[in-house]
Amino acid sequence: MYIREASDLELDEVLFVEREAFGHDVEAELVRQLLEDPSAKPVLSLLAFVKDRAVGHILFTKARLEKNQTKASLVILAPLAIVPDSQKQGIGGKLIERGLQLLSKSWVDLVFVLGHPEYYPRHGFKPAGRLGFEAPYPIPDEHADAWMVQALRPDVIGSVNGKVICADALNKLEYWRE
């Protein structure tokens, strides 16, 4: 298995992985729109391959704090997708880890995700609401722990807070129902 950045020419592979993983077109269409969205840039789009077949994809897109605090650079992880026959083999975890490693070497301070609260804490994510970060749309109390954050720099958490504004293509209520 190997992981590398997806090139612009690999859109079909990316969308195929998204459709297979989720079993419908919603996330594939979201990814297609995010990759064209200027407000999402810069993006980090990684593909995982097994025997040269694309089996996993992860996308990180730019976000910002509503109060326009310039002290922190933000991204949102969405979506993460592994094709069914390659799930539960650690590939999702490796895509998260590689993404975080690359982002920590670039300009990123905080990574947010709305996802399974039993899965992402294994890779360092913590509930974001308690740390002062509001999601782009309100998350019901019973799912509050699904909105998570991870700091890639020391001292960022505590020095900034507020509502997170995501890229335009992701800024729709339908994507924020966990």
- Does 15 help bind ligand COA (rule: CB under 6 A)? no
Nearest distance from C-beta of residue 40 to ligand COA, angstroms: 17
Q: Residues 55, 38: contact at Cβ < 8 Å?
A: no
Binding residues with ligand COA: total (CB under 6 A):
17
Which of positions 71-90 make contact with ligand COA (CB under 6 A)?
79-82, 87-90
Which amino acid, one-letter code, is at 49?
Answer: F
Residue 170 makes contact with ligand COA by CB under 6 A: no
- Residue 1 found at the interface with ligand COA (CB under 6 A): no
Of 115, 121, 127, 162, the one binding ligand COA (CB under 6 A) is 115
From 1-9, 60-68, 111-119, 133-141, give the range in contact with ligand COA by CB under 6 A.
111-119
Closest among 48, 82, 61, 92 to 175, alpha carbons compared: 61
CB of 61 within 8 A of CB of 167? yes
Nearest residue to 62 via CA among 75, 45, 73, 71: 75
CB 75 within 8 A of CB 111: yes
Point out which residues bind ligand COA (CB under 6 A).
21-22, 79-82, 87-93, 115-116, 118-119
